[in-house]
Structure formats: structure tokens, C-alpha cells
Amino acid sequence: MKEYIEQYAASFKTALDTVPAEQVADIVGQYKKAIDEGKTIFVFGNGGSAMNVSHFATDMVKGATDALGKPVKVVSLNDNVGLITAIGNDYSYDDVFLRQLQVLARPGDLVMTLSVSGNSPNLVKAFEWAVDNGLQTIALVGGKTCRLAELAHTTLAVSSSHYGHVEDAHMMVCHMIAYSFMENA
């Protein structure tokens, strides 16, 4: 077991080394611009990525707002289970993020999704709408060609196909974004 844990950690470090600091800094700049302009930032994902964006939204709304002394409007579209299940039941699971964006988002808002595969129909559909309706889009994906990378204005790809390593790296990027505001306000 010790060897497995050491190998997992080494493989994660290798994946993390593929995350360019300048690209994370660019994303932080996009967040800063959205915050300064009073825009809303929408985040969403599936499975482990759903939990990561919920954590990230909490860090931003609580931590970044406290540090900056002004509202940081970050909404996780994963956090209203009743709404997600109503949309999924009455329309389609492919619409669970799209329908929320159609009601809540405005041109100029920022949208970020986390996805290892980058091809989930519900994420792609929401991104297509976001691009067509003047929202800025950021995709954190795994290290292969995917539809979200084609659609996003900004794509950060972690060079790994291991779900755990990619999700771990995405959460680290989310922490880098959040803590850049909490520790550098």
C-alpha cells in the first residue's frame, strides 16, 4: 500500500507540473475584472468536479468577500438539488446548467466549468449558450482534446487522464484563484 500511495503522489505531482502558473494568473485576472465590474461568476461541474466548484464558490463568496471588503458574486449551479432534479425530470439532465444560466446570467458574466473529460453534454450545452450570449468562459479540463476546450475562451488542461489527479489539480487551481484574493487583497 505504501508503494501505491507514493506512486499516486508522484503521478499527481507530475500532473500538477503541467499547470502553467501564467495561465492561472491570467484566470485570476479575469476573475479580478469580473469582480471589479460587479459581474456574477457561475461555476459548475459533474461528480467530483461538482463538489470542487461548491467548495470553490464557498471560498470566494466567504473568504474573498471578507478579504476584499466588497461582494464577490460566485454561484455554484450545483448547489440547488431541487432545481437540478426538477430541470432534469421535466426537461433533460443535459439542461440542468443551461436552464439556470438562461435565467440568472447576463452578458459579460463569467462562467467556469471543471471537467476531466471535457465532453459532458450538460456542460457543453451550457457553454454553447454562454458563448452565444456574451459570457466569458473558462474550462478546466483533463489533458485530451475535448469539446469544452474548443468552446472556451480560456482553457486550462491538466495533462493527465487519471480522474483523481485531474480533479486534485483542478481543486488546487481553484484554491490558487481563491487565495490570490484572500491573501493578496
Q: Cα(70)–Cα(160) distance, rounded to whole angstroms? A: 37
Q: Which three cell numbers stand for residue 160?
A: 493527465
Asked if residue 7 belongs to a domain, the reply is: no
Listed residue (144, 132, 180) closest to 31, CA to CA: 180
Asked if residue 11 belongs to a domain, the reply is: no
Asked if residue 162 belongs to a domain, the reply is: yes
How many structural domains comprise the chain?
1
- Which pLDDT tens digit goes with each residue over 16-33? 999 999 999 999 999 999
Asked if residue 99 belongs to a domain, the reply is: yes
- Which pLDDT tens digit goes with each residue over 143-167? 878 999 999 999 999 999 899 999 9
> What pairing do the DSSP bridges indicate for beta strands 136-142 and 74-76?
unpaired
- Which pLDDT tens digit goes with each residue over 86-118? 999 999 999 999 999 999 999 999 999 999 999
pTM: 0.96
Q: Identify the residue whose cell numbers are 452565444.
A: 132
User: For the residues 173-184, what does the mean pLDDT come to?
Assistant: 96
Asked if residue 74 belongs to a domain, the reply is: yes
Asked if residue 13 belongs to a domain, the reply is: no
Q: Cα(60)–Cα(74) distance, rounded to whole angstroms? A: 7
Supply the range of the domain harboring residue 50: 24-182
Asked if residue 101 belongs to a domain, the reply is: yes
- Look at residue 143 in the predicted model and tell me its pLDDT: 81
Q: The domain that contains 80 carries what CATH number?
A: 3.40.50.10490
Asked if residue 160 belongs to a domain, the reply is: yes
